[in-house]
Amino acid sequence: MKTEKIAIDKRGYYGEFGGAYVPEMLHANVKELQDCYLEVLADPAFQKEFRSLLKNYVGRPTPLYFAKRLSAKYDTQIYLKREDLCHTGAHKINNTIGQILLAQRLGKKRIIAETGAGQHGVATATVCALMGLECIVYMGKLDIERQAPNVARMKMLGATVVPALSGNMTLKDATNEAIRDWLSNPSDTHYIIGSVVGPHPYPDLVAKLQAVISEEILEQLPEQTGRKLPDAVMACVGGGSNAAGAFYHFINEPSVQLIAAEAAGLGVHSGETAATIALGKPGVLHGSRSYLIQTDDGQVVEPYSISAGLDYPGVGPLHAHLAATKRAKYFPVTDEEALKAVVELSRLEGIIPALETAHALALLREIKFKKEEIVVICLSGRGDKDLETYMKYLM
């Protein structure tokens, strides 16, 4: 596996973003992970197990599908990387499979996770059931309501879902609670973070586990198109893990445009938004320095998006770096634009995408590509969990 595509220093910095801003209670845990993660990832026994589970359990490789009618509509060549076809319905399981194998090697008995849309919670509950480990998932109370099907799935899988009751009761607050749990249970617990956020080494660890997405695109694209590289890769960004995975092997290929969609909620300047790159300033939250939506006093602003998975005031430090260095472009997409894109993909291709994913699809209306250009969109997840929201919208 080619992994060293992104320059990260010993302290976990991508340029000026990253690091490990954790209280002393977590020092030993974070240090243990920092010291071992590269070695574990490189271990052939780990790779064998990881690859075998991705193939036989998750169902990888996921198809790279030429979306004919969508392409005709936008007059370009659109390929969908079908992460929605992964077991559990989103890319999140690529990361949880890798991290559960890591947790086993560290001898951890108890697994905790945060979740927004519930996809990461389901993916964590799934691998815990698979390995017979205890699983506790923190989820904002609002998200428990708006992503009910995923709460039921987690319960079916034997996980305990704990509501987070602070702030807007969404992903940020669930992450606060997960970190508080971790620092209260430092010796027996592994925290499976669900995105490329958190203290070093999580952003790099999660990016490397999700890198399988772009690794497969690199193999599939020539078979289908005769072209080695796409002209553009697009993805949605909450914390940024599906985007990190889809971008990973293209970061050092300057001919490939990297384009991401962040959630604008009701609009970037509406005060009800999660457009971190558009509005954020450098700041520290959840263990790393990145862009952060905050007040002039350095208080975190409560975010808003219709999409629970993108409703987060920060973004992974890798994305802050890609944005600051202009290697990737980030565009805000509103709730309304995302919902339109959901209906469009459903009707044109027979694929109902997740609300998060729809933000990336909505960019097709914003960005004009040439007819012969190849655009790969990471279809990060399926929309089953969002059907209630979709039904309301269609009314």
Is 114 among the catalytic positions?
yes
Phi-psi region of 64 (alpha: psi -120 to 50; beta: other; left: phi over 0): beta
Task: Say whether residue 120 binds ligand PLP (CB under 6 A).
Answer: yes
Question: Which one among 45, 149, 160, 166 touches other proteins, defined by CB under 8 A?
Answer: 166
- Does 107 interact with other proteins (rule: CB under 8 A)? no
Residue nearer to ligand PLP on the CB measure, 88 or 189: 88
Distance CA 103, CA 374 (A): 39
* Nearer to ligand PLP among residue 119 and residue 175 (C-beta): 119
- Residue 110 as a binder of other proteins (CB under 8 A): the answer is no
Active site residue 380: yes
State the number of CA atoms in the 13 A half-sphere of 13 facing the CB: 10
314 lies in the site for ligand PLP, by CB under 6 A: no
Choice among 114, 216, 262, 337 that is catalytic: 114
**Largest Cα–Cα distance in the chain?**
56
Q: Which residues of 282-305 are buried (b: 16+ CB within 10 A; e: fewer)?
A: ebebbbbbbbbbbeeeeebebbbb
Beta bridge partners of 111: 135, 190
Residue 35 engages other proteins in binding (rule: CB under 8 A): no
The alpha carbon dihedral of 139, 140, 144, 150 has a sign of negative
Q: How far is the CB of 131 from ligand PLP (least distance, A)?
A: 22
Q: CA–CA separation, 151 vs 122, rounded Å? A: 8
List 176, 257, 334, 357, residue binding other proteins (CB under 8 A): 176
Counting contacts by CB under 6 A, is residue 354 touching ligand PLP?
yes
Angle value at C-alpha 337, between 254 and 266, nearest 5 degrees: 105
x-or-dash string of contact with ligand PLP, 273-312, rule CB under 6 A: ------------------------------------xx--
Tokens standing for 258?
Answer: 């990297």
Of 21 and 393, nearer to other proteins (C-beta) is: 21
User: Least CB distance from residue 189 to other proteins, whole Å?
Assistant: 11
Binding footprint of ligand PLP on the chain (CB under 6 A): 90, 116-117, 119-120, 195, 236-243, 309-310, 354, 356-357, 380-381
Residues annotated catalytic, as ranges: 92, 114, 380
